[in-house]
Amino acid sequence: MANIASTTASAGTEVTARALREAVFAGLITLGLFVLFVGLKTDQNIRNELVLTQRWGLLAIFVIVAMVGRFLIVAYAQPWLAQRKAVKAAAPEVAKEESFFSRNFSKIAIVALVLYPPVILALTGVQGSLKWVDNFGIQILIYVMLAWGLNIVVGLAGLLDLGYVAFYAVGAYSYALLSSYFGLSFWVLLPVAGLLSACWGMVLGFPVLRLRGDYLAIVTLAFGEIIRLVLINWTEVTKGTFGVSGIAKATLFGIKFDASKDGFAALMGLPISSAYYKIFLFYLALGLCMLTAFVTIRMRRMPIGRAWEALREDEIACRSLGINTVTTKLTAFAMGAMFGGLAGSFFAVRQGFVSPESFVFLESAVILAIVVLGGMGSLTGIAIAAIVMIGGTEILRELTFLKLVFGPNFTPELYRMLIFGLAMVVVMVWKPRGFVGSREPTAFLRERKAVSGSFTKEGHG
């Protein structure tokens, strides 16, 4: 016993000695690195002379922080990690029984989303619910739908599309223009917008059939810009940068959401508020998302969906099996574009105003980032990624306590993109294949085993 105790004690002192040694090295390196950057500072005085300011105190702080940090890492963090790893390795491999929650995740999520507006209404009151239903609920659902649409093109078919926002724009403008010029209702124009976007998806698809990888990405990027520039410059029809305003609202079986006598609030005997319209839109967005998910899940189990995934894995093998890769690619573009168009017309009806400002390249990048972050091909992962990215950037507006930390002049909104970028880097380092890295097979003989992300390919074009 005594022997063991003495060895652990000696191991302890050994680690401490090593930690001290490494801390000294770290301090020296820090000193060397920062002595000219931090220790000395040159200023110009009023007579244009160079003045050397010495800041040894600040330099000392830098060095001490590095030394203490290194010491703590070597002496405590590393042994702790090693110990945890050893414990994990020693623990017997238990057949993990999936918990009730993870098995029924999608059902629970749908129920939670359906219950979301009434719960918010109860918690925050009618006016207070506006922000939570609109900024968080509807906003996130639009991005979920867009990302699920793009997932068909990028995640399943492996065709990198950087101009996806073009289809979003086509859908939004289809509704905005057709409703203001011809007075058609939202319910008629929703499928029309979907079809028009699908057509534009094919239009994009034809010239890029032979392109792959980077070349495909560049052409789709250009396509997105072309659509935006047409919207800006075709002023007779689209009113250019002024945008189309006063777009008709959607109705629920002919019931309008306004302050009139036969409006929704009056009929239901509720106080007049725009919150009811927002809640209606929330359910509408949820319905559209469910439609997207249903179609995607169904299609994955059908020959066309398998052909998309096969196309991502190996195009030449696809051709050798008698699959027409041209129609397969075009249907992928058309399906993805269609859902983008549906989301676009929903966006137009929600905003009541569309302008080319809303369809810049950054939007495409955000949607693509959601798909990649979620794990290409996985609907659950993408939905989570949309909540994290869009909800995360929205919630930064709410973090007023940061003002207390950084002073009253600090505006967290300005740091949104910085934090957003940092978060993405962290997630991609931690989970390089996205939140859900494995692939769910579409058919099985005995048991459904998830396919590890290391086997699936990202597609080459």
Partner 1 sequence: MAIETMTTTMTKDPILKVEHLSMRFGGLMAINDFSFEASRGDITALIGPNGAGKTTVFNCITGFYKPTMGMITMKQRSGKEYLLERLPDFEITKHAKVARTFQNIRMFSGMTVLENLLVAQHNKLMQASGYTVLGLLGFPAYRQAAKDAKELARHWLEKASLIDRADDAAGDLPYGAQRRLEIARAMCTEPELLCLDEPAAGLNPRESHALNELLQSIRAETGTSILLIEHDMSVVMEISDHVVVLEYGQKISDGNPDFVKNDPRVIAAYLGVEDKEVEEVIEQIEEIEGGQGGTKQ
Residues that bind partner 1 (CB under 8 A): 295, 298-299, 302-304, 306-307, 309-310, 312-314, 316-325, 331, 439, 441-449, 451-452, 454-457
User: Which CB atom, from 182 or from 455, has the smaller least distance to partner 1?
Assistant: 455
Q: How many CA atoms lie within 13 A of 92 on its CB side?
A: 2
Helix axes 139-151, 361-374, angle to 10 degrees: 70
Residue (323 or 390) nearer to partner 1, CB = 323
The tokens describing 395, both together, are 């919630």
Q: Minimum distance between the CB of residue 330 and partner 1, rounded to whole angstroms?
A: 13
* Residue 349 CA, distance from chain mean position: 23
186: CB partners within 8 A, 6+ apart: 175, 179, 248, 249, 250, 251, 345, 349
CB nearer to partner 1: give 403 or 448.
448
Shortest Å distance, C-beta 437 to partner 1: 11
Task: Give the separation between CA 453 and CA 457, rounded to whole angstroms.
Answer: 8
Q: Which residues contact 67 (CB under 8 A, 6 or more apart)?
A: 23, 24, 26, 27, 30
The count of other CB atoms within 10 Å of the CB of residue 404 is 9
Give the residue with the Cβ less far from partner 1, 245 or 324.
Answer: 324
Report the residue number, 18 or 306, with the smaller CB distance to partner 1: 306
Please enumerate in sequence order all residues whose Cβ is within 8 A of that of 145, keeping only pairs 6 or more positions apart, or say none.
Answer: 285, 288, 289, 292, 339, 342, 343, 346
In a 3-state reduction of DSSP, which class is residue 274? coil
Of 312 and 350, which CB lies nearer to partner 1 in the complex structure? 312
Query: In the bound complex, what is the minimum distance in angstroms from residue 312's beta carbon to partner 1?
Result: 8
d(CA 35, CA 412): 33
Instruction: Give the shortest CB-318-to-partner 1 separation in angstroms.
Output: 8
CA–CA separation, 121 and 126 (whole Å): 6
CB 194 within 8 A of CB 292: no
Smallest separation (angstroms) from partner 1 to the CB of 315: 9
Residue 52, H or E segment: strand 50-54
In the complex, least distance from residue 143 CB atom to partner 1, rounded to whole angstroms: 25
Alpha-carbon distances of 60 from 27, 30, 65, rounded to whole Å: 9, 10, 9
Measuring CA to CA, how many Å separate 212 from each of 184, 310, 334, 450?
40, 15, 18, 28
Nearer to partner 1, 46 or 316 (CB): 316
Residue among 332 and 343 whose Cβ is closer to partner 1: 332
Distance CA 38, CA 66 (A): 14
Taking the complex as a whole, how short is the minimal distance between the CB of residue 353 and partner 1, in angstroms?
Answer: 34
For 44, the 3-state DSSP assignment is strand
**Closest separation between CB of residue 297 and partner 1, Å?**
11
State the minimum distance, in angstroms, from the CB of residue 93 to partner 1. Answer: 18
Task: For partner 1, give the closer residue by CB, 45 or 320.
Answer: 320
Nearer to partner 1, 18 or 460 (CB): 460
Structure tokens at 25: 């090295």
Comparing CB distances to partner 1, the nearer of 247 and 318 is: 318
Provide, rounded to whole angstroms, the least separation between the CB of residue 428 and partner 1. 20
Distances (CA, A) of 224 to 178, 218, 361: 21, 10, 7
Work out how close the CB of 146 gets to partner 1 at its nearest, in angstroms, rounded to a whole number.
21
Least separation in angstroms between residue 295's CB and partner 1 is 7
Q: Which is nearer to partner 1, 265 or 307 (CB)?
A: 307
Q: Of all helices (H) and strands (E), which one includes residue 399?
A: none
Handedness of CA 28, 33, 38, 43 (dihedral sign): positive
Cβ–Cβ < 8 Å for 120, 132: yes
The whole-angstrom separation of Cα 321 and Cα 393 is: 46
β-pairing, 353-354 with 244-245?
antiparallel
